[in-house]
Amino acid sequence: MRTPRPFSLDDIVIGRSPRMQAIFNFAKVVSRSDSSVVITGESGTGKEIIANLLHHTSARQHQPFVAVSCALFSETLIETELFGHERGAFTGAIRDKPGRFEMAQGGTLFLDDIDDVPLAMQVKLLRAVQNRTIERVGGTREIGVDVRVITGTKRDLRQLVDEGTFREDLFYRLNVMTIALPPLRERLEDLPQLIDHFVARFARARGLEVPGISPAVRTALARYSWPGNVRELENACERAVQLCSCGTIRTGCVAARILFGAPGPQALPLQVEVTAAPPELPRSVSLDDRLHEVETNLIGWALRASGGNKSRAAELLQVKRSTLGDRIARCGIATASPELSGGHDESEAGCTLSD
C-alpha cells in the first residue's frame, strides 16, 4: 500500500528536451480523454508523476487518484487489495473492506508495475476494466466502478504478450494510448534544470538559502549514467543539500559512486575538461526576483485553494480583491480554467519525473 504524495502541478518540471516537451504536449491531449493509458519507462523515470498529471488535468481531477504498485503484493493479496473483500471471506477478514477500484470510484486508478501481475489475476483485471464491475473477494454481488485505469510498466508489454506472460486481450484493453518516458541518460540536456529544481526544493524545505553548485559537480553529474533515473538524481540532490556546509555544493557533497563511477567494465570516466573555477565571491541574491517568486507562489496557492474564485483568494491572502487583481496581472499568472500548465509558462512548468 502506498500513500500518494500530495501532488501539486507546481512541483512539476518537465524539462526542455524535445522528447519531454513532446510527452508534455501529448499528455495534454491524453488528459482530455477517458481512455486507458499505459505509461512505460524504467524505474525512476516518473511514471506516477505523469499519471498524477493526467489525473489532475482531466475531468476527473476532483475525484480520487489512487496509486498502487502491483509488485508489492502476492497473487492472493493483490486480489483483495484491488477488489476488496467481504467480512468472513478469509481468516482475519473481520470487516468489509473496499478495494482500490472502489476507493478510486469516479476518479483514476494508477496500477504501477502491471508487468508484475500474475496471469491468473490478469483475467480478473480484464473483467473489471472491460465490464466496469468488480466483485469483492468472498462477495457475490457485482459492484459498478467508474474508474479510469492508467497503468505503469518498466517492461515492454508487447514483448511480454509475445512471450506468453501477459494476456493479449488485457494488453489491448489497457493500451489504448501509450506514453513512453525516456531514461534520464537519454535526456541529459534536462539535467541542469532538474538539478536546480531539486536543490532549490530541498533547500527551501529545510529553510536554507539555496546553495550554488560548482562547475565540477555539474560536470560530474552530467557524465554519470543515472541508472536510477530522476529518482536517483532527486536523492543525490537531497544528499548534496544535506551535506553542503559552505554555501556551494562541491565534489565532497556528491556520492563517490556518482563522482567516480561504479567499478566495472567501463573505463572510469575520470578525465574531465573543467574550466578553471571562477573566483569565489559571495553569490548575489536578487531581492526583487525572490519576492516575486514568493508572491507568485502564494497567489497561485490561494487561487487553487479557492478554486479560482478571486474574491475568496483575496480573503485568504488578506488583501483587497482589486489589489489581488493588480498583483495577478503583475505576476503574469493566467487565471483562466486550470490548464495543464497550472497557469504557468509551459517552458517553466515541468515534471519532477520521479515517482
Q: Which amino acid is at 302?
A: A
Minimum distance from residue 345 beta carbon to another protein (Å): 34
Cα–Cα distance, 234 to 236 (Å, whole number): 5
Q: 250 near 217, Cβ under 8 Å?
A: yes
Do 133 and 144 contact (CB within 8 A), yes or no?
yes
CB neighbours of residue 259 within 10 Å:
16
C-alpha cell at 176: 489504448
Nearer to another protein, 280 or 348 (CB): 280
107-134 CB burial, b ≥16 within 10 A, e <16: bbbbbbbbbbbeeebbebbbebbeeeeb
Beta carbon nearer to another protein, 85 or 250: 250
Q: Please report, as ranges, the residues that interact with another protein according to CB under 8 A.
A: 214-217, 219-220, 243-246, 250-257, 259-260, 263, 268, 270-277, 280
CB-CB contact of 13 with 197 (8 Å) = yes
Q: Which residues, in sequence order, are bridge partners of residue 152?
A: 39
Cβ of residue 113: shortest distance to another protein, in angstroms? 32
Q: Indicate the residue type of 219.
A: T
Q: Which is nearer to another protein, 170 or 253 (CB)?
A: 253
234 and 354 in contact (C-beta within 8 Å)? yes
Name which of 105 and 219 has its Cβ closer to another protein: 219
Q: Which is nearer to another protein, 183 or 215 (CB)?
A: 215
* Nearest-approach distance from CB 282 to another protein, in angstroms: 15
Shortest gap between Cβ of 13 and another protein (angstroms)?
26
The least distance separating another protein from the CB of residue 199, rounded to whole angstroms, comes to 15
Angle, helices 229-243 vs 191-205, to 10°: value is 50
Nearer to another protein, 123 or 268 (CB): 268
CB 235, min distance to another protein, A: 15
Between 149 and 244, whose beta carbon lies closer to another protein? 244
Sign of CA dihedral 72, 78, 84, 85: negative
Residue 262 C-beta: closest distance to another protein, Å: 9
Q: Which of 98, 73, 75 is nearest to 85 (CA)?
A: 98
